[in-house]
Amino acid sequence: MTTTLEAPAPSRTTASAPRSTPRRRTRGGALARTGPSKYFAHAGVWLYVILLAAPLYYLLISAFKRNTDIFNQPFSPFTPLTLDNFGLAFSQASLGTALLNSAYITIGAEVLTLALAVPAAFALARAKGSLGQMVERIFALGFLIPGFAALVPTVLLSIAMHLFHTREFLILFLPASAMPLTVILLTQAMRAVPAELEESAVLDGAGPLRVLWSVYVPLAVPTLTVVAILNFLSFWNEYFFSLVIIGPEATLRTAQVALPTLSIANAAQYGVLAAGILITLIPAYLVYAVFAEKMENAVLAGALKG
C-alpha cells in the first residue's frame, strides 16, 4: 500500500488530455476478474443508467404521440406516431422567431467574446512581467464570481444603458460572463507557441497584428474551438438573464424563454411541450454530433480550470 501512494502524483494538466492505457484485459473488462461483488457494481450502474435514460426516453416518445396515448400507454413506443406536436409547438410558442433570436444573440455574443479575448490572451501569453500576472489573476478571480447573484444590478445596468428589453444588451453582457474562462484557456494555449516561430516572423518583417493573425491564431485553433463550443452551449442555453432582461415579448424572446410558455398553454398535454424541447435541443445536439470528442474535452477543460 505504501509503495503505491509514493507513486509520482500525476500533474493536473494531464487530466485534460486523457490517454488510453494499454492494459491486458479479459472479456468484460477489468471487473470480470473480481468476485460476486461485481454484480452489485453492474446492477448499481445500470440502475443509474435506467434512471438517467427514463425521462429522456419518455420525452422522446411523447413528442411523437397523441395526447390520449401519452396518458393511456405512457411507455409504449408502438402507438400511432404523429408529427402534429412539432407544428403546434412552432405555432403556439412562435418558436421560429425565438430560435432566430437565440441564434442572433448566440452568434453576436460569440463573435464579441472572441474579439475581446483573443487580443487579451495574446498580450498575456507574451507578457513576462508581474503586471501580466496580475491581470491574469484578475480574470482568474472571475471564476469565483457567481453571475446570478448580480441579477438585479445587471437589469439596472441595462436600464441605465437604455437597453432594457433588447437583445443587444445580452450580446454585450454574455461575453463578460464567458471572459474569465475564455481568456485563461486561450492564454495557456498561446503560451505554448514556440518563441522561435514568432522571432522568425518578426525577422520577416511582421508586426504584432500580423504575428497574432499568422502565427498565434492558427496554432490556437484547437483551443479556440473548445472555447467556442463551451460559449455556444452557455449562450444558447442561457435562461434567467434572457427572461428578466429581454422579457416575454414574443418577437424578441429567446427559445429558452419561449419554451416554458408551452407548458402553460398545454397544461394537460405533454406532447407539444416535448416536441418544443426537442426543437430547442436540436442546435446543441448538432454541435455535439459534429464535435462529440472536442465537446467532452471542452466541458472537461471548463471544469479543470474552474
Q: Are 185 and 226 in contact (CB under 8 A)?
A: yes
Among 198, 207, 225, 212, residue whose Cα is nearest residue 118: 212
Q: Cα separation of 22 and 168, whole Å?
A: 51
Interface region with other proteins, contact rule CB under 8 A, candidates 6-14, 77-85, 93-101, 215-223:
6-14
Taking residues 169 to 188 in sequence order and writing x for each that binds other proteins by CB under 8 A, - otherwise, the string is ---xx-xxx-xx--x-----
Site for other proteins in 258-297 (CB under 8 A): 259-260, 262-263, 268, 270, 273-274, 276-277, 280-281, 284-285, 288, 292, 295-296
User: Can residue 100 be called a binding residue for other proteins (CB under 8 A)?
Assistant: no
Q: Is 137 in the site for other proteins (CB under 8 A)?
A: no
CA distance 271 to 277: 10
- The least distance separating other proteins from the CB of residue 147, rounded to whole angstroms, comes to 7
Q: Does 85 bind other proteins (CB under 8 A)?
A: no
Binding segment toward other proteins, per CB under 8 A, in 70-78, 103-111, 198-206, 217-225: 70-78
The least CB distance from residue 43 to other proteins, in Å, is 11
Query: Rule CB under 8 A: is residue 229 a binding residue for other proteins?
Result: no
State in angstroms the smallest separation of the CB of 61 from other proteins. Answer: 10
**Residue 195 near other proteins by CB under 8 A:** no
Closest Cα to residue 189, out of 162, 152, 226?
226
Among residues 93, 98, 105, 117, the one that binds other proteins under rule CB under 8 A: 117
Residue 78 touching other proteins (CB under 8 A): no
Write the DSSP string, 49-96.
HHHHHHHHHHHHHHHTS-HHHHHHSTT-TTSPP-SHHHHHHHHHTTHH
Using the minimum distance from each CB to other proteins, give the nearer residue, 160 or 203. 160
Taking the alpha carbons at both ends of the chain, their separation in whole angstroms is 32
Locate cell 422579457: which residue? 247
Of the candidate spans 79-87, 196-204, 215-223, 234-242, the one that interacts with other proteins by CB under 8 A turns out to be 234-242
In the complex, least distance from residue 299 CB atom to other proteins, rounded to whole angstroms: 6
Indicate the residue among 197 and 237 with the shorter CB distance to other proteins.
237
Closest to 223 (Cα-Cα) out of 148, 283, 146, 302: 302
Q: Does 248 bind other proteins (CB under 8 A)?
A: no
Q: Which amino acid is at 110?
A: E
Q: In terms of CB distance, is 21 or 251 closer to other proteins?
A: 21
Question: Using CB under 8 A, which of 3, 80, 205, 251 touches other proteins?
Answer: 3
Contact 276, 262 (CB under 8 A): yes
Cβ within 8 Å of residue 4, ≥6 positions away: none
CB of 256 to other proteins, least distance (A): 5
**Of residues 43, 52, 192, 290, which one binds other proteins by CB under 8 A?**
52
Q: Give the Cα separation of 120 and 188 in Å (integer).
A: 12
Total Cβ atoms within 10 A of residue 149: 9
Strand, helix or coil for residue 15 = helix
